[in-house]
């Protein structure tokens, strides 16, 4: 059916069509405040600009990265009038590498930003404020990261291997040899890594590389084609020279080049050692992780005769220390392989009062056999999606105390509102500075039955 031309012109609801801002355009801006992700916020002609690398009260020249409707994303190209707070980043790649986004901001201000983010999310999504704010849990500002994924890409045109980290707001790779947030053993590995990889006979077969440090250092190489014996020997010699294990990831699961290789980390305060394999979730900041476990147990105040539930337990990071202090721990995780390793970790550390189960924690828990006997306290450490289905049933367990460890203040706030609806009170909350030099917020909250 042909469309009839009536001669009328219609404009979109809300007025005249807004002219789109082209990518690459430069704009002079005055920054008013910081967003939760650490970007500066400016307002021009009804649009909100989010500007990476900018600080409040600064005048900057920014380049547009993307624009949609009334929101513009941009990157600072030049600082015209700097903030008194502005620091010269110690890393030459700051502003280009996508890893550290806040090196230009003093650490105390980074902590204040994270604290504001947590408070605002609790107020906005749950209309809540804790009865007491805990001091931020902090560690070293640099040299803290014990795990890193290195991006690798074969440039067929230049016939060269790019090695480094992903650029901010891009899939481009920033060539990096020195990374100041890595722990020292991984820094030395990182410096020598590009030369090693570019010297392989089949560099185009490399998918990516991961570095780990704990009870040992380890290098995991993901490869998309079989490696020749010469390349394998070169990798083995490199790892031997740097006192690192070699792990290979082709088809199937990652496997150690040496069958007796063991990779793990220690929780010294409880004389515990937890084994893991590349691909398992492990907190990247060893010092803050141990302090986090200690604070969680301090807030929970577990008693020797109590039964405690640990949800999203992983390898047993909280469950095993808890087992040192209570009658019984029931620990639940969604990934079966992690459950098996957690059981092995409990056995290796001589703990018989902790029991691990696999369950889909995004589904209701009521049918699970381990729920029926009830619990005195609950600890949960969910992923970014939070734990809404789990917290909906916390009160039914009889728990008097709940410690919630979160990597996303928005879902923590949502789940906090549900706990309050069940009669719990938000007694205490605070941030955990697991990722210095970034805007990523980790938090802990304590709830008690009213």
**Which residues are marked as active site?**
407
Q: How does DSSP assign 16-39, residue by residue?
A: SPPPPPPTT-EEEEE--EE-TTS-
Q: Length of the chain, please?
A: 450
Through-space distance between the first and last CA atoms of the chain, rounded to whole angstroms: 67
Which pair of structure tokens corresponds to residue 107? Answer: 């650490």
* CA distances in angstroms from 389 to 23, 75, 201, listed in the order given: 41, 39, 51
Q: State the Cα torsion 298-299-304-305 to the nearest 10°.
A: 180
The residue among 142, 217, 229, 154 whose CA lies nearest residue 186 is: 217
- 361's CB contacts (< 8 A; 6+ apart) are 311, 312, 332, 334, 382, 387, 389, 390
Tokens representing residue 290 in the block: 């141990």
What is the number of other CB atoms lying within 10 angstroms of the CB of residue 258?
Answer: 12
DSSP string covering 235-267, please? HHHHHHHTTEEEEEESSSS-EESSTT--EEEEE
CA distances from 20 to 41, 47, 170 (A): 19, 11, 21
- The dihedral of CA 424, 426, 427, 432: what is its sign? positive
Burial of 172 (0-12, 13-18, 19+ CB in 10 A): middle
Phi, psi for 311 (deg, rounded to 5) = -100, 145
Provide CB contacts within 8 A for 445, sequence distance 6+: 130, 403, 404, 406, 412, 416, 426, 428, 429
CA distance linking residue 95 with residue 93, whole number of Å: 6
* Residue 232 CB coordination number (10 Å): 16
Do 403 and 432 contact (CB within 8 A), yes or no?
Answer: no
The sign of the dihedral angle between the CA atoms of 174, 177, 179, 183 is positive
Q: Quote the CA–CA distance of 330 and 313 in Å, as a whole number.
A: 9
> Which residues have a Cβ under 8 Å from the Cβ of 35 and sit 6 or more positions away?
41, 50
């Amino acid at each position: 059916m042909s469309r009839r031309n009536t001669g009328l012109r219609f404009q979109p609801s809300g007025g005249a069509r807004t002219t789109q801002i082209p990518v690459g355009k430069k704009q002079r801006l005055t920054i008013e405040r910081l967003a939760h992700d650490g970007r500066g916020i400016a307002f021009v002609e009804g649009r909100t600009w989010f500007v990476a690398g900018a600080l409040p009260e600064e005048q900057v020249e920014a380049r547009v990265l993307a624009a949609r409707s009334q929101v513009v994303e941009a990157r600072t190209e030049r600082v015209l009038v700097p903030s008194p707070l502005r620091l010269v980043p110690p890393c030459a790649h700051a502003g280009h590498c996508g890893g550290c986004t806040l090196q230009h901001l003093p650490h105390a201000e980074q902590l204040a930003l994270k604290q504001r983010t947590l408070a605002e999310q609790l107020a906005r999504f749950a209309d809540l404020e804790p009865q007491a704010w805990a001091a931020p849990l902090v560690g070293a500002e640099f040299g803290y990261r014990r795990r890193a994924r290195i991006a690798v890409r074969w440039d067929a045109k230049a016939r060269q291997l790019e090695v480094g980290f992903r650029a901010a707001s891009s899939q481009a790779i920033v060539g990096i040899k020195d990374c100041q947030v890595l722990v020292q053993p991984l820094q030395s590995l990182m410096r020598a890594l590009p030369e090693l990889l570019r010297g392989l006979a089949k560099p185009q077969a490399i998918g990516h590389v991961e570095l780990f440090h704990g009870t040992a250092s380890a290098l995991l190489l993901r490869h998309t084609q079989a490696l020749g014996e010469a390349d394998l020997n070169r990798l083995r010699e490199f790892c031997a020279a740097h006192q690192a294990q070699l792990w290979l990831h082709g088809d199937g699961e990652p496997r150690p080049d040496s069958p007796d290789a063991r990779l793990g980390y220690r929780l010294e305060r409880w004389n515990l050692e937890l084994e893991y394999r590349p691909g398992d979730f492990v907190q990247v900041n060893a010092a803050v992780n141990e302090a986090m476990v200690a604070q969680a147990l301090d807030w929970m105040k577990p008693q020797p005769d109590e039964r405690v539930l640990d949800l999203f337990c992983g390898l047993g990071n909280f469950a095993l220390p808890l087992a040192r202090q209570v009658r019984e721990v029931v620990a639940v995780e969604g990934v079966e392989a992690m459950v098996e390793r957690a059981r092995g970790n409990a056995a290796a550390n001589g703990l018989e009062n902790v029991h691990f189960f696999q369950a889909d924690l995004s589904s209701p828990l009521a049918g699970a056999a381990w729920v029926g006997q009830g619990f005195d306290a609950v600890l949960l450490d969910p992923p970014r999606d939070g734990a809404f289905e789990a917290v909906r049933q916390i009160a039914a367990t009889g728990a008097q105390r709940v410690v919630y460890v979160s990597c996303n203040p928005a879902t923590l706030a949502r789940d906090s509102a549900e706990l309050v609806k069940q009669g719990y009170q938000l007694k205490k909350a605070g941030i955990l500075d697991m990722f210095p030099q970034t805007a990523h917020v980790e938090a802990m909250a304590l709830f008690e039955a009213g």
